[in-house]
Amino acid sequence: MEVMIVIGVFVIVAGMTFYFFSGLNKKEILEKDVAGVSAFIRDARMLAVTSKDSSVFGIHFENDKVVLFKGSSYVAGGPDQKVFTLSKAVYMSGYSLNLGVPDVVFSRFSGETANFGTVTFSLDDDSASITITILGTGVIQ
């Protein structure tokens, strides 16, 4: 009887430990994805500031991916695009950008944007979220 109780307690503790650490792992995935999106935003701004190919650059947000594009507007499948695909456990849960569209275009030389605001990414179980703030200067927080 004592052995059964010890095994039962062990199973409960092991289950709780697994649940706790699996939640941490998902939060790490969210943090990694948001870091990748942040890098994409910084890259797009830097390309615009350096006026690569005498062009502006921007970022297009979708629920499952972020696209770095060349030019003043996003065209699905257009040339010169880089795609960052979010992990299966992460999605873009919303955005509140000044112009109301999920595209942020950075001006040549200054890196400023007229479509500033916030973009939020969440875990699929909505247990955690991280918001990126894009300032009018193009700098992100």
Question: What's the CATH number where 103 sits?
Answer: 3.55.40
**What is the CB neighbour count within 10 angstroms for residue 65?**
14
Instruction: State how far the Cα of 40 lies from the Cα of 37, in Å rounded to an integer.
Output: 5
Does residue 125 sit within a domain? yes
Residue closest to 72 by CA, chosen among 83, 54, 56: 56
Higher pLDDT, 46 or 17: 46
CA distances from 22 to 10, 17, 18, 26, 61 (A): 18, 8, 6, 6, 27
Does residue 46 sit within a domain? yes
The torsion of the CA quartet 115, 39, 66, 131, rounded to 10 degrees, works out to: -60
Does residue 23 sit within a domain? yes
Does residue 127 sit within a domain? yes
Does residue 141 sit within a domain? no
Specify the pLDDT at position 17.
Answer: 61
Residue closest to 60 by CA, chosen among 33, 87, 78: 78
Q: Is the pLDDT of residue 1 over 90?
A: no
**pTM score:** 0.83
**pLDDT bracket for residue 22 (50, 70, 90):** low
Instruction: State how far the Cα of 109 lies from the Cα of 51, in Å rounded to an integer.
Output: 6
**pLDDT bracket for residue 11 (50, 70, 90):** confident
pLDDT tens digit string along 27-56?
A: 999 999 999 999 999 999 999 999 999 999
Specify the pLDDT at position 9.
Answer: 72
Three-state DSSP class for residue 102: coil
| 116: DSSP letter | -
Does residue 140 sit within a domain? no
Does residue 34 sit within a domain? yes
Asked whether the beta carbons of 106 and 112 are under 8 A apart, the reply is yes
Does residue 92 sit within a domain? yes
pLDDT tens digit string along 106-135?
A: 999 999 999 999 999 999 999 999 999 999
- Domain count along the chain: 1
Asked whether the beta carbons of 121 and 93 are under 8 A apart, the reply is yes
- Domain of 94? 2-134
The predicted model gives 83-98 an average pLDDT of 96
